[in-house]
Structure 1
Amino acid sequence: MKLVDMKITEFVDVLGSDAPAPGGGSASALAASVGSALTMMVAQLTIGKKKYVEYDELMKQVLKEATEVNQALLEAIDKDTEAFNQVSAVFSMPKETDEEKAARKEAMQKALKLAAEAPYDIMTLASKAITITGRAVGKSNVNAASDLGVAALNLKSGLQGAWLNVLINLSGIKDEAFVAKYKKDGEALLQTSCDRADEIYQAILEIV
């Protein structure tokens, strides 16, 4: 069964078990998906309301984009765990001969790159969702303003959590160019998007 198809209680149970996956990466994708879902909710609570008619088209676009990102984030819950499982599978490879050891090292490097790319994709999606959420601030149903703030908090949590998972996998990668690129791009994405999430939260504090 896919993680995304589990009941909440089932997912939490496996998350809290001694199984190494799902772990922080999948949890980060889930947090971000909850954030984007809240943005979707706020949009739907705004669309069609006379008080917000001037923002109707904007909120329809916000809903469309947030829904697309949300679907990708839900898929990322399983993708991150699948990437980790590929790393785990390498440990069962034989390592008796020099050829086997070389093949094992090569497989591990390939798996670690995939395991770093998976949470980086979560970061990219969470960043996009934060931007989408920001467009709804001050232009959406004021009665759901707190939900928009919670959306920003969940998206920021997902973003930062995914970054930790990028870093832990980069630590085992020997390809210096690959590591440098992901660190540089990840740090830039993290800074910009966390700042934007904080701005949304502060703006909501002034509304509620």
Structure 2
Amino acid sequence: MKLVDMQITEFMQTLGSDAPAPGGGSAAALSASMGASLVMMVAQLTIGKKKYAEYDAEMKEVLKDATDAQDWLLKAIDKDTEAFNDVSAVFSMPKETDEDKAKRREAMQVALKGAAKSPYSMMEAMLEMLRITDRAIGKSNTNAASDLGVAALSLKSGLQSAWLNVLINLSSIKDEEFVKEYRTEGEVILKEGCALADKIYEEILEIV
């Protein structure tokens, strides 16, 4: 069964078990997907309201973009666990001969790169979702303003959590160029995303 098809209690029990996956990466995607869902809710509480008629078209775009982001992030919950499982599968490969060991090392490096790319791609999606959230500030139903703040915080949590998962995988990758590229680009995404989330939060504090 896919993680996203589990009931909340079942998912949380699985997450809290001694099973190595799902772990922090899937939790990061879940946090961010909740942020996207909150923005969807705020948009739907704004669209069609006379008071916000001038922003109707823009909020419809926000709803569409947030819905697409939510769909992607929900899928990432399972994809991250699958990437981790690829790493775990390498440990069952034979290691009797030097050739076996060489194949095992190569397979591990490939799997680790996949495990680093998974949360990195989440970071890109989370940054974009924060930009979508920012578009709703001042143009959406003020009665739900706090929900935009919670969305920003959920996305920031997901972003920082995904970054930790990028780093832990990069630490075991031997390809220096790969490590440098993902560390450098990841830091840029992290900085921009956290700054944007903080900006949204401060703006919401002025509204509520």
User: If the length of structure 1 is used for normalisation, what is the TM-score?
Assistant: 1.00
Does 2:104 align with 1:104? yes
Q: State the alpha-carbon separation in 2 of the partners of residues 181 and 71 from structure 1.
A: 27
Partner of 2:59: 59
Does 2:7 align with 1:33? no
Q: State the alpha-carbon separation in 2 of the partners of residues 35 and 123 from structure 1.
A: 13
Name the SS of the counterpart of 2:136 in structure 1: coil
Match runs of 1:42-191 below 5 Å? 42-191=42-191
Structure 2: which 5+ residue stretches go unaligned? Answer: none
Q: State the alpha-carbon separation in 1 of the partners of residues 66 and 194 from structure 2.
A: 18
Name the SS of the counterpart of 1:135 in structure 2: helix
Aligned-residue CA RMSD (Å): 0.4
Q: 1:154 corresponds to which letter in structure 2? A: S
Q: State the alpha-carbon separation in 1 of the partners of residues 149 and 99 from structure 2.
A: 54
Q: State the alpha-carbon separation in 2 of the partners of residues 127 and 175 from structure 1.
A: 26
Moved over 3 A (4+): none
Residue 169 of structure 1: how far off its partner (Å): 0.3
State, as a whole percentage, how many aligned pairs show the same letter.
71
Q: State the alpha-carbon separation in 1 of the partners of residues 125 and 188 from structure 2.
A: 14
Residue 9 of structure 1: how far off its partner (Å): 0.2
Residue 96 of structure 1: how far off its partner (Å): 1.1
User: If the length of structure 2 is used for normalisation, what is the TM-score?
Assistant: 1.00
Name the SS of the counterpart of 1:52 in structure 2: helix
Q: State the alpha-carbon separation in 1 of the partners of residues 23 and 94 from structure 2.
A: 26
Aligned residue pairs total 208
Q: State the alpha-carbon separation in 2 of the partners of residues 185 and 82 from structure 1.
A: 23
